[in-house]
Amino acid sequence: MESIFQENNFMTLMVIGILIMLAFAMAFVLFVNHSQKRLLKEQMRVQKLDYKHQEELLHATILTQEKERHRIARDLHDEIGSKLNVIFLNVCRLKKYGKVDEEIDLITDEVETVVNTTINSIRFISHELLPPTLEEFGLIETIRELQHSYNLIGAIQIDFTTEGENKIDDSLVELNLFRVLQELIKNSIRHGKATEIDLNLKIDPTIITFSYQDNGVGFDSTDKAHKKGLGMKNIESRLRIINATSKLNSSTKNGTNVVIDVLPDQTNNI
């Protein structure tokens, strides 16, 4: 009877020991799981802070770029442009006297051509940096001016159509959409070898939709490597500044299509 009692005590102790071991094992598993969750949460917090810091740096860079573009455009227009205009007028005056000398007449014609070409080039560069049309007349007229410039050069033909209202009330949206358009056109010419671009801007009170399509060589838009370039990062950052969403579709030999949606009432400043 005593042996049975001892055996029962031994079994009880074994069960208790096993339960204690299971409790320790469960506690250890819970501790490891909790620690992993805390570690993962901390890693996510650090990544989020790092991502936010990178975004702030990129936004600050974009803001600095815009200020520098504004300064250079003003210098080109006010300083260099005005001086070239004076030179051009003086050349025109010299031409009156150059009629009596064939060689002088030839030289003044050449100088006039060079100066006139330089003035046009400076005007084009100045408009690319900071189109005065954007501040005075808005995005639609600025795109039309850009369209005319490219179509006049003849390297690429741009077709531009609009729907809905004829003005965007938010200047920040206009500026960043124009910069995105400039980057897209540059990519179409440099990388896509495109010869035609179709643009459509639809302005409604609740949403702005900007569509872009070129006939370039295209690329695999599912390949993340294409999204690592500085140009694409600038585009993505500018779209985030105005809380815009975009869809990019492209495939080899089928060109590139980009659709951008902006909710005007959700835009914010840099």
14 and 30: one domain?
yes
Backbone torsions φ then ψ of 101, nearest 5 degrees: -130, 120
The pLDDT value given to residue 268: 47
The pLDDT value given to residue 51: 60
Q: At what angle do helices 230-241 and 171-190 cross, to 10 degrees?
A: 160
40 and 161: one domain?
no
* CA dist 220 → 17, 176, 225, 226, 257 (Å): 62, 26, 10, 8, 12
CA torsion, ordered 244, 250, 254, 255, to nearest 10 deg? 50
113 and 12: one domain?
yes
169 and 207: one domain?
yes
CATH of the domain at 156: 3.30.565.10
Print pLDDT tens along the chain (270 aa): 555 555 556 567 666 767 777 776 676 667 667 666 776 776 676 666 666 666 677 777 777 777 777 777 777 767 777 777 777 777 777 777 656 667 777 777 777 788 877 877 777 777 777 777 888 899 999 999 889 888 888 879 999 999 998 889 898 899 999 999 999 999 999 888 999 999 999 999 899 999 999 999 988 877 766 655 557 778 888 898 898 999 999 888 889 999 999 986 654 444
The pLDDT value given to residue 1: 55
115 and 176: one domain?
no
156 and 270: one domain?
yes
119 and 151: one domain?
no
Q: How many Å apart are CA 36 and CA 147, to the nearest integer?
A: 56
123 and 186: one domain?
no
Helix/strand/coil percentages in the chain, nearest 5: 70, 15, 20
User: Which domain, by its residues, includes 154?
Assistant: 138-270
pTM to 2 decimal places:
0.64
Domain final position from 68, 103, 130:
130
Domains in the chain: how many in total? 2
89 and 150: one domain?
no
Domain final position from 72, 105, 130:
130
Q: Coil, helix or strand for 197?
A: strand
126 and 176: one domain?
no
